[in-house]
């Protein structure tokens, strides 16, 4: 269940970068960094497109979402944290975090 949520959020985040930031330009690339700390999974997606205004990237109520506009809603409802690192100079760095229940025996 948690793996499905993480995969879903990643698919949506990457699809949003491809569509909205890169405008389907397949010469562009995205880097992904994954880090596990304690019980938190951190995923950072870095693109090198035009700066995104984080204030314009928000989830809307379901009845206000147009067709194909569920990406941010899905990401925010499946991940524990969704934010842009505004200190990045060129491009964008999206940080996703998911709390995991890891049991080490």
Domains and CATH numbers, the chain: 2-99 (3.30.565.10)
- Is the pLDDT assigned to residue 105 strictly greater than 70? no
Rounded to two decimals, what is the model's pTM? 0.84
**What's the pLDDT tens digit per position in 43-80?**
999 999 999 887 776 555 556 656 556 778 889 899 99
Distance CA 76, CA 62 (A): 13
Residue 38: its pLDDT value, please?
86
């Amino acid at each position: 269940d948690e793996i499905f949520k993480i995969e879903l959020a990643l698919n949506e985040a990457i699809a949003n970068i491809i569509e909205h930031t890169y405008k389907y330009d397949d010469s562009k690339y995205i880097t992904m960094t994954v880090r596990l700390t304690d019980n938190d999974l951190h995923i950072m997606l870095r693109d090198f497109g035009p700066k995104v205004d984080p204030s314009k990237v928000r989830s809307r109520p379901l009845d206000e979402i147009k067709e194909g506009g569920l990406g941010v809603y899905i990401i925010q409802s499946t991940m524990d944290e969704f934010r842009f690192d505004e200190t990045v100079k060129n491009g964008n760095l999206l940080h996703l975090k998911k709390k995991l229940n890891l049991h080490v025996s």
